[in-house]
Structure 1
């Protein structure tokens, strides 16, 4: 191997063997149509950053954007300008971005293009997929299949999973083991996504942080001011999500074997960004693919419950239906 090539490869070898970067890992952002692209970059590139954030630097971005979604298209130009002012190089394609970075943040606010974007990103470099992981369950399953086939470490999460008001329940000795929970969060719909994926996903992520996987059936009822989704876990525990139509608050109640705990609010993006950067350094996803798939099955079952007049719908049925859809597309 030529010495020039050795010096290029050696830092990556050290990273792979020890889990520590000799130089900051070069991060690329796909999708400059969300405030997360700006806020995450500020946290990661902060000269005073410590811990895992000090091991990563955002160096490049691909604008992306969905022309048919105003909340995406109307933001790209402004956020690209801000990123340029922060010293981030803007490239004109995903392949060009992949060549220039070691790790990737898939930030496109629209979940619909995530599958096609991930197909181009899945080259073995760690990828964080911002919420929603995709617009529907079938695409989420397809993304994780590609990740497995290409040996591309990846995970998806909302910042609410790591919100201080949620994570403290796990360390509360007065609460004991979680026997159920109730979460309230804002609810907005984007008609080309399953209903809860667009914004309700924040509250569902919080539920999974408290309850862990195991939801077997879901029911949903809609009202004028809110939507109520109830999940039944395989061990009989219940979780309730109240989607606030027009509301902007977050509230969390955890029921435990020893007591009940309550908190509210949002603690910002730093806890999630710390998890992302730790993942980039270790290449170990903190949220398993099976958990994200189950979570989307819960959300898709909530839509199906409305179609069945509030009946309980099996999450396993939703996964089977999505897998059949993928098999049909593959055979077409």
Structure 2
């Protein structure tokens, strides 16, 4: 029996109502994304940008279709938020909720690993790697440098594309500072919040953001670090190859803000703006499409080695610690090891002429 026009109209209306409830339908060329970890605001913000075409920051080409909430019952920031974010991605964006990592990796093209903390990451990544899915790992990569090295080793052996980064790497203000001069920065100061998460090295959670900003401008090649620590802040000074220096001002208490100051050959450049998740999420979608990570494993591991060496320096009352030492201890392959850190600062050869005059002189 042919349906009446009235029945056809009702079917169309019903379909429209369902689409409005769960978001727009998956397009034929959209990558299907699975999320692991709904205990962080990133799960909501990433899904918003991928699943809502009406959002001004919408990123086409991928859509979140399934998620495993996870959560850490002994961490307040996790256990108090997982239920709310789960409800949002399910009810507002039509994401199917499942009960395991394996289910979240099934029938998807790629994975966003967003769980709040690093302790479960190694076991989660073993399952994702076994499924052969490209994966973006949100911060922190792991609970230790040793686990981070093992994750990248396993992914490399299985030829599973993987990368991790902080969103600040693609902030317009950070990129402006990084590209201020054609020559490498002589020195950089990066400061920002460094809230401490239980069970982790104290820079791994929020300290990753100003640390990654520092490396975005300085580049790779850090040899060693020394650290001064108080209750309110930690100051970590890294020595780079060629006698360049990069300083992280990790703020534990008090006024919080992010900023970079670059000291170059011809000018001093200060960061003027920040940003949001959108540029990084574009890079993630591009990575899922091409399988080519914008940040290589060795680059990311150098950043985590910097933070791990800073932790060791704190335990040694501010003594110098080389990145190579902590990487060797973590079991890193020879190809990933930094230089030995024996480079020394060169003293200035002469007093330069034409120094700027003090104001008021």
TM-score range, shorter chain: 0.7 to 0.9
Any unmatched runs of 5+ in structure 1? 1-20, 325-332
Paired position in structure 2 for 1:23: 29
Deviation (angstroms), 1:278: 1.0
Work out the CA distance in 2 between the residues paired with 1:168 and 1:139. Answer: 33
Task: Using structure 2 for the length normalisation, give the TM-score.
Answer: 0.80
Any unmatched runs of 5+ in structure 2? 1-26, 333-361
Work out the CA distance in 2 between the residues paired with 1:200 and 1:219. Answer: 16
Deviations 1:259-305 (A, max 9, x none): 11001553111111111111111110111101111111111111111
Paired position in structure 2 for 1:61: 67
Alignment of 1:308-327 (within 5 A): 308-323=316-331
Contact 1:181 1:211 in 2 (8 A): yes
Question: Where does structure 1 differ by over 3 angstroms across 4 or more consecutive aligned residues?
Answer: 48-52
Paired position in structure 1 for 2:13: none
Paired position in structure 1 for 2:165: 157
Contact 2:48 2:58 in 1 (8 A): no
Paired position in structure 2 for 1:11: none
Deviations 1:212-266 (A, max 9, x none): 1111101110124311011111221100010112332101111222211001553
Paired position in structure 1 for 2:98: 91
Deviations 1:19-43 (A, max 9, x none): xx96100001000000000001111
Task: Using structure 1 for the length normalisation, give the TM-score.
Answer: 0.87
Secondary structure of 1:272's counterpart equals: helix
Paired position in structure 2 for 1:171: 179
Paired position in structure 1 for 2:192: 185
Deviation (angstroms), 1:74: 1.2
Work out the CA distance in 2 between the residues paired with 1:52 and 1:38. Answer: 13
* 1:280 pairs with one of 284, 288, 296: 288
User: Is 2:246 aligned against 1:239?
Assistant: yes
Is 308-317 or 218-227 further displaced after alignment? Answer: 218-227
Contact 2:66 2:95 in 1 (8 A): yes
Work out the CA distance in 1 between the residues paired with 2:147 and 2:219. Answer: 22
Paired position in structure 2 for 1:211: 218
Work out the CA distance in 2 between the residues paired with 1:169 and 1:221. Answer: 26
Secondary structure of 2:238's counterpart equals: strand
Paired position in structure 2 for 1:4: none
Contact 1:177 1:258 in 2 (8 A): no
Contact 1:52 1:274 in 2 (8 A): no
Contact 2:113 2:135 in 1 (8 A): yes
Secondary structure of 2:119's counterpart equals: coil
Work out the CA distance in 2 between the residues paired with 1:251 and 1:171. Answer: 15
The CA RMSD measured in Å over matched residues stands at 1.9
In terms of fraction of residues, the more helix-rich structure is: 1
Secondary structure of 2:45's counterpart equals: helix
Deviation (angstroms), 1:169: 2.2
User: Is 2:199 aligned against 1:196?
Assistant: no
Secondary structure of 1:54's counterpart equals: coil
Contact 1:52 1:281 in 2 (8 A): no
Work out the CA distance in 1 between the residues paired with 2:52 and 2:172. Answer: 21
Larger Cα Rg: Structure 1 or Structure 2? 2
Contact 1:189 1:195 in 2 (8 A): yes
Aligned residues: 303
* 2:264 pairs with one of 251, 256, 271: 256
Task: Say which structure, 1 or 2, has more relative contact order (CA 8 Å, 6+ apart).
Answer: 1
Contact 2:75 2:198 in 1 (8 A): no
* CA 133–264 in structure 1, closer or farther in 2 if over 3 Å, else same: farther
